Amino acid sequence: MSSLLNLQIEHAKLLQRQQAGEDILQDVGDYIRRVVAASSRIASPHERNQLRANLRYWATYVLEKEGTYPNVELAPGPVESGALVPFIVSSSIIAVVVFVILLLIAVVGGSIRIMINLAQASSAATFTAVAYQTQTAIAATPSATFTPTPTAEPTSTPTITPTPLPPTPTPTEAGLLVRLTNLANGLDVQPIMVLAGTYANLQPGWSIHILLQPISLGGRYYPAPQFFEVRRSGEPQDWSLEIKLGEGAQLKKREQYIVTPAIALTPAQRAALVGAANTGFDLPPPGVIVFSQNAVIVTREVFQSINEVRLLYVTVDTFLYTARLDGTDARRLTDFPTARGIDPGLSPSGQRIVYVGSRTDANGETIYSLWIMDSAGQNRVMLLEERGLLYERPLWSPDGRYIAYSAGSADGDYAVYVYDTLTREKSILETGKKLSRFPSWTTNGRSLVFSAVANSNTINLDSLVVTSVLDTPGEETQPVVSTDGRRVAYVYYPDDSPGSNRDIYVFNLSTSKTQPLTTDPGLDQWPTWSPDSRTVYFETYRTSNRPSIWAVKIDGTGEHQAVDSVNHSRPHVGKMVVFLPIP
């Protein structure tokens, strides 16, 4: 690992500790001394300018804490072959010529005095917008910054006063802001996650990027290939990006990352970042502005990637599990220590789960709520909670935007609702039917099939026209549309007497014919379809009078227990895209 990379990693760690409120004054002083010493081994002007930017940042920190501005002048760098020799030769020649001229003037006896400022004899110091922690290219008038004034001691002879380098304005000093808001130091994170934050004073056409520095790779930068294009400027705005922290064999090894936001000002800078996603770079491309003061250090543990059709179910002790369709590879996704989780449903992308939660308040009353989380059981967000209202079987719309569910009171009526995950608003569907429950989406996402008193119905979400789908002398409930949209599986029972047996039936929407799938005396309920629409999974009490999960083909054959144990309920089948930690 190069000296610069070591110093950059140390710089980022100090920034994290500063943000955490730690007292790092002594460590900052040590860091400044190490940078100054190490600068004698660094020749690249680009890298030396980066070190100067770091030192100015920490010198200002020391000034705020102690009231003194430390020495942050870099040590002379190593001579690069062929780079400085011409300057040395020309300087020697100039010195000889000046000496001869002075000698001639002295001989002639003239009274003219000539003073040559040797600082002006060398090339004038230039101010370059270094790509890492500067932004002079976008600020015509930089904000005022602290410039230490050298103290001149009285002397009778002329002294050489080096012209101090102008302080490089940082993004913060120029009013630019790019900040992470959903990530903090020390967090354990998933291999795929959505970063969110705010930005201010960026110009339309610029883009926000995320730079990843895996510690095991020496702190080399790997930009995320995705970026957020700025559309509006001025007041703070929100941004978000999905990033990936490792894939394939990389997931088998624990890794720490420095996550840093950055901005590209031009299409060329943006292309350079995207193009370096796999190869990485030691320093960001020229012109790219990096907000190292807003960097965050996170840890990604060892994970297994799952991308397949799987079964979700709930145990009686409130754990949410997933397993393959044959019941193997059963894994607990989450434990709800303070809230029971039931009725899980996978989003079309397979990356999120909606479920019904419940908790008991101080008075012993059970309060139900509607939640979503990622498919690994993390990042839980409560959507709705209303005292006295029971939520039932939430299901995602085919486009992943809406969630349909039913809700009602224990001693009152039920209704069908639709929740918009973008606007965070809910709408009640006026079906005109009593006990409207258990909505299920049609494949085009334009209608819902639901059960009501005495029959099953469908409601068109555009016209809100309710059409009766099935009406028999018995009771039909818990309808669910097959993935191919051709059939509806439902629970049928002759009457609502306590001893009435409940079985799983299938209704063909094309032929209007019904067919029983189960005939066991045990209670069968909560049907769900496999993605190929050939198998129905369901909950049954036919084993030891405790719930278990079984499956049956749509022709009524192949009935078997899908999960080899009991006390499992509320099955749901869908594609699952998730990274699960390896114990």
So what's the pLDDT on residue 339? 64
- Give 226: exposed, middle or buried? Use CB within 10 Å, 0-12, 13-18, 19+: middle
Domain final residue, candidates 301, 334, 358: 301
- Say whether pLDDT at 475 is over 70: yes
Q: What is the mean pLDDT of the chain?
A: 80
CA–CA distance, 475 with 490 (Å, rounded to integer): 10
Q: What is the three-class DSSP state of 322? A: strand
According to DSSP, residue 245 is labeled: -
Determine the Cα–Cα distance for residues 314 and 319; give it in Å rounded to an integer.
6
> What is the reported pLDDT for 52?
80
At a CB cut-off of 8 Å and minimum separation 6, what does 95 contact?
Answer: none
* β-sheet bridge partners, residue 426: 419
Which helix (DSSP H) or strand (DSSP E) does residue 39 occupy? none
**Predicted pLDDT at 157:** 36
- Distance (Å) of CA 561 to CA 299, 327, 502: 40, 9, 18
* Mean pLDDT score, 301-322: 89
Question: Do 327 and 563 contact (CB within 8 A), yes or no?
Answer: yes
Averaged pLDDT, 7-13 = 80
- Both 400 and 490 in one domain: the answer is yes
- State the CATH number of the domain containing residue 505: 2.120.10.30
37: tokens are 């010493």
498-521 burial code (b ≥16 CB/10 A, e <16): eeeebbbbbbebeeeeeeebbeee
CA distance 311 to 530: 9
The verdict on 463 and 364 lying in the same domain is yes
Confidence of residue 248 (pLDDT cuts 50, 70, 90): confident
Number of domains into which the chain is organized: 3
Q: What is the DSSP string of 168-221?
A: PPPTTTTT-EEEESS--TT-EE-SEEEEEEEEESPPTT-EEEEEEEEGGGTT-B
Q: Is residue 550 part of a domain?
A: yes
> Is 36 inside any structural domain?
no
In a domain, 10, yes or no: no
What is the percentage of the chain residues whose pLDDT exceeds 90?
A: 45
% of residues, the chain, pLDDT over 70? 80
Taking the chain, what is the end-to-end CA distance rounded to the nearest angstrom? 32
Q: Tell whether 156 is covered by a domain.
A: no
Identify whether residues 176 and 121 lie together within a single domain.
Answer: no
Domain of 184, CATH number, reads 2.60.40.10
Q: Is the pLDDT of residue 156 over 70?
A: no
Helical (H) or strand (E) element with 536:
strand 535-543
Give pLDDT tens digits for 26-76.
999 999 999 999 988 888 776 777 788 778 778 878 877 887 878 888 888
Residues 317, 253, single domain; the answer is no
Three-class DSSP category at 582:
coil
Residues with Cβ within 8 Å of 100's Cβ and at least 6 positions away in sequence, in order, are none
Looking at residues 376-386, what average pLDDT do you find?
Answer: 89
Domain with 117, as residue range(s), is 85-128
CA-wise closest residue to 396 among 194, 572, 527? 572
Do 253 and 346 lie in one domain? The reply is: no
In whole angstroms, give the CA distance from residue 422 to residue 467.
29
Q: Hey, what are 201's tokens?
A: 């004073």
Task: Write the DSSP symbol of residue 251.
Answer: G
Report for 37-46, 270-279, 444-453: range of highest mean pLDDT: 270-279
Extract the tokens encoding 207. 């883009």
Contact present, 355 and 345 (Cβ < 8 Å): yes
Is 76 within the bounds of a domain?
Answer: no
Q: Which of 1-10, 76-85, 459-468 has the highest mean pLDDT?
A: 459-468
What pLDDT band is residue 109 in, cutting at 50, 70 and 90? very low
Mark whether 277 and 316 lie in a shared domain.
no
**With the C-alpha atoms ordered 362, 367, 372, 374, is the resulting torsion angle positive or negative?**
positive
Answer yes or no: is 358 within a domain: yes
Is the same domain home to 268 and 323? no
316 shares a domain with 248: no
User: Residue 583 burial (CB < 10 Å; 0-12/13-18/19+)?
Assistant: exposed
313 and 441, same structural domain? yes
pLDDT at 108: 39
- Of 95, 37, 103, 102, the C-alpha closest to 71 is 37
More confident: 28 or 464: 28
Classified as helix, coil or strand, 225 is: coil
- With 80 as the cut, is the pLDDT of residue 313 above it? yes
54-68, 342-356, 366-380: least confidently modelled range: 54-68
Integer Cα distance of 151 and 154 in angstroms: 10
Domain end point (choices 301, 332, 354): 301
CB contact at 8 A, 372 and 382: no
pLDDT tens digits along 486-544:
999 999 988 766 667 899 999 999 999 999 999 998 899 999 999 999 999 999 998 77
Q: How far is CA 549 from CA 387, 525, 536, 576, in A?
A: 31, 10, 11, 19
Q: Are residues 229 and 105 in the same domain?
A: no
pLDDT digits (tens, 9 = 90+) for 178-220: 999 988 888 888 888 889 999 999 999 999 999 999 988 887 8
C-alpha triplet 70, 71, 75: angle, nearest 5°: 150
Q: Is residue 352 part of a domain?
A: yes
Same domain, 189 and 286: yes
296 and 314 co-located in one domain: no
